[in-house]
Amino acid sequence: MQQKERFERLGFRKLGSEDKFLGNPIQSGHSFWTALLPGNASFGARGILATRDLIRKESCFIIANGNSVDLWNSPWIPWLEWNSFRAAFNPMIVPTLLKVSSLLNDEGDWDPLLAHRWLVPSVASSLHLIKSLPSSQHDLLVWKDATDGMFSPKVAYQSIIKHRGNNLDVIWNRIWKLNITERLKMFLWKLGRDALPFGSRLQRIFGNPVNCVLCGESVDSWLHLFCHCPLAKATWFGSQWAIRGENLNFSCPRDFILWLLDPGFLGSASTEDREAFSRFGICLCDELWNARNKAYHEQEFPTCLGVLAKVNSACSAMRRAWEEPVRIDAQVSWDSDRDRLNGRRTVYVDAACKDLRATAGIVMKEADGSFSGALTVQLAVSNPLEAETLALYHAVLWCASQNWRQVVFVSDCQSLVRGIHSRAAPNWRLASSFWLLLHAIDLHPQAEFVWLPRTLNQVAHNVCQWAFNFPFSGVLSAEDLAPLVAM
Residue 91: other Cβ atoms inside 10 A: 7
- pLDDT tens, residue by residue, 3-27: 555 545 555 555 554 444 334 434 5
Q: What is the pLDDT of residue 167?
A: 61
pLDDT-wise least confident of 59-68, 154-163, 441-450: 154-163
Q: Is the pLDDT of residue 329 over 50?
A: no
The β-bridge relationship of strands 346-354 and 408-411 is: parallel
pLDDT-wise least confident of 111-120, 250-259, 338-347: 338-347
| CA distances to 96, 101, 173 from 109, in Å | 22, 10, 46
Q: Is the pLDDT of residue 91 over 60?
A: yes
Distance, in Å, from the CA atom of 426 to the CA atom of 351, rounded to the nearest integer, reads 17
Residues 241-275: b if buried by 16+ CB within 10 A, e if exposed: eebebeebeeeebbebbbbbbebeeeeeeeeeebb
Residues 21-30: b if buried by 16+ CB within 10 A, e if exposed: beeeebeeee
> Which of helix, strand or coil describes residue 119?
strand
Environment class of 177 (CB within 10 Å of its CB; exposed 0-12, middle 13-18, buried 19+): exposed
Task: Please provide the distance, in angstroms rounded to a whole number, between the alpha carbons at the two ends of the chain.
Answer: 58
Q: What is the pLDDT of residue 363?
A: 95
Mean of pLDDT over the chain: 85
Domain ranges of the chain: 1-163, 170-323, 336-486
Residues 279-295: b if buried by 16+ CB within 10 A, e if exposed: bbbbbbbbbbbebbeeb
For the chain, the C-alpha Rg in angstroms (whole number) is 31
Contact 322, 279 (CB under 8 A): yes
Q: Which of 72, 22, 30, 70 is nearest to 48 (CA)?
A: 22
- pLDDT tens, residue by residue, 192-248: 998 898 887 777 777 777 888 899 888 889 999 999 999 999 999 999 999 999 999
Chain Cα centroid distance, residue 168 = 17
Q: What is the pLDDT of residue 166?
A: 59
pLDDT band, residue 345 (cuts 50/70/90): very high
Contact 4, 47 (CB under 8 A): yes
User: Topology of 336-486 in CATH?
Assistant: Nucleotidyltransferase; domain 5 (3.30.420)
pLDDT-wise least confident of 78-82, 90-94, 422-426, 468-472: 90-94
The alpha carbon dihedral of 64, 67, 71, 75 has a sign of: negative
H/E run at residue 56: helix 52-58
The β-bridge relationship of strands 448-451 and 408-411 is: parallel
pTM of model > 0.85: no
